[in-house]
């Protein structure tokens, strides 16, 4: 499941990404304002996907918790100008 989720994200496939979310969820990416509900999340995620050339996640560890899963890893964003930004992700 985790591999399918991050494959969708790295493919910039917002429809598949949204299929992993509950209808009434809240999604917050970095320092952006929270997006509430799938429609608002889709707009936010697509806006971000359009702002970069590509992204690649490397998942380092996954923990199972009663409410779901927690993932820790690294993400590399390739910007439109070709520069690459690496950040931790959780």
CB 80 within 8 A of CB 52: yes
Model pLDDT for residues 29-85, shown as the tens digit of each residue: 888 899 999 999 999 999 999 999 999 999 999 999 998 899 999 999 999 999 999
Q: Could you give the domains of the chain?
A: 2-89 (3.10.450.50)
Lookup result for tokens 């509900």 = 37
Helix (H, G, I), strand (E, B) or coil at 8: helix
pTM: 0.89
Look at residue 43 in the predicted model and tell me its pLDDT: 95
């Amino acid at each position: 499941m985790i591999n399918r989720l991050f494959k969708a994200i790295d493919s910039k496939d917002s429809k598949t990404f949204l299929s992993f979310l509950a209808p009434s969820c809240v999604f917050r990416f970095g320092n952006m304002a929270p997006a509430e509900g799938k429609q608002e999340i889709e707009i936010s995620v697509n806006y971000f996907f359009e702002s970069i050339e590509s992204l690649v996640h490397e998942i380092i560890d996954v923990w199972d918790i009663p409410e779901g899963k927690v993932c820790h890893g690294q993400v590399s964003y390739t910007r439109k100008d070709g520069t690459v930004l690496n950040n931790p992700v959780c």
